[in-house]
Amino acid sequence: MKLVLFDCDGTLVDSAALIHETMRRTFAHFGKREPLVEETKSIIGLTLDIAIARMQGKPHADDEAVQMMAYYKSLFATVRTDMNFREPLFDGIRDVIETLGPRDDLLLGAVTGKSRRGLDLVLDTHDFRTWFVVGRTADDCPSKPHPAMVTECCDEMGVRPRDTLVIGDAIYDMQMAKAAGATAIGVSWGYASVAQLRDAGADVIVDHPRDLLNHIL
């Protein structure tokens, strides 16, 4: 049995525009310089308070970062509705999930810096809840690249890390996978460069969702 754990933002769905607009409004509300899109993309995958701190050059999340995180969370659903952002699937992802989901030799899960509510919204929006049987979020575990998201999913499903694949677009995904003892598969359609994924320890990097099947099946 293999466990296949997908990152969400930048791997399953293209959420950069939604995250950036919410982040932009948050920084403006607190009188901060509004971040560039590239700055927002660079922190996608981290837990929000840590992400917000890093965007300001802070080494750790302080009280202000926690306050900004709370404000961001209060805005997220409103921005998603107002701006008509729906976190679309990347082309080809649905076919991959619908190929993998019914198999008896695979278990699918999600490991994400999103909140539990955010992950549930994505799974429900795209009718993936049937296939994703385990998941860990920013509400459950320390931020990536800490290995807890992966190791806790492994423990829950009774699958060893060495039989687990972590698929993600961020350096934090690759670092998390390696720290947990899992295989790290990077995807080039997300928010980190191929060079960054390679430097972070990716065992393999794929350029299209369909290429994932060659490394999973």
Domain ranges of the chain: 2-14+87-216, 16-82
The type of residue at 216 is: I
Q: How far apart are CA 20 and CA 44, in angstroms?
A: 10
Q: How far apart are CA 110 and CA 205, in angstroms?
A: 19
Residue whose tokens read 């909140």: 115
Residue 66, pLDDT score: 96
What are 185's two structure tokens?
Answer: 């598969």
The type of residue at 99 is: T
Residue 81, pLDDT score: 84
Q: How far apart are CA 40 and CA 60, in angstroms?
A: 17
What residues of the chain score a pLDDT lower than 50?
Answer: none
Residue 86, pLDDT score: 76
By C-alpha distance, which of 134, 69, 147 is closest to 108? 134
Q: How far apart are CA 155 and CA 161, in angstroms?
A: 9
Residue 85, pLDDT score: 74
Options 1.10.3470, 1.10.357, 1.10.150, 1.10.8; which CATH number does 16-82 get? 1.10.150
Options 3.40.50.1000, 3.30.565.10, 3.30.530.20, 3.40.50.1400; which CATH number does 2-14+87-216 get? 3.40.50.1000
Q: How far apart are CA 59 and CA 50, in angstroms?
A: 8
The type of residue at 141 is: C
Integer CA distances (angstroms), 129 to 121, 135, 139, in order: 10, 11, 18
Residue 204, pLDDT score: 98
The answer to whether residues 202 and 166 touch, using CB atoms and an 8 Å cutoff, is: no
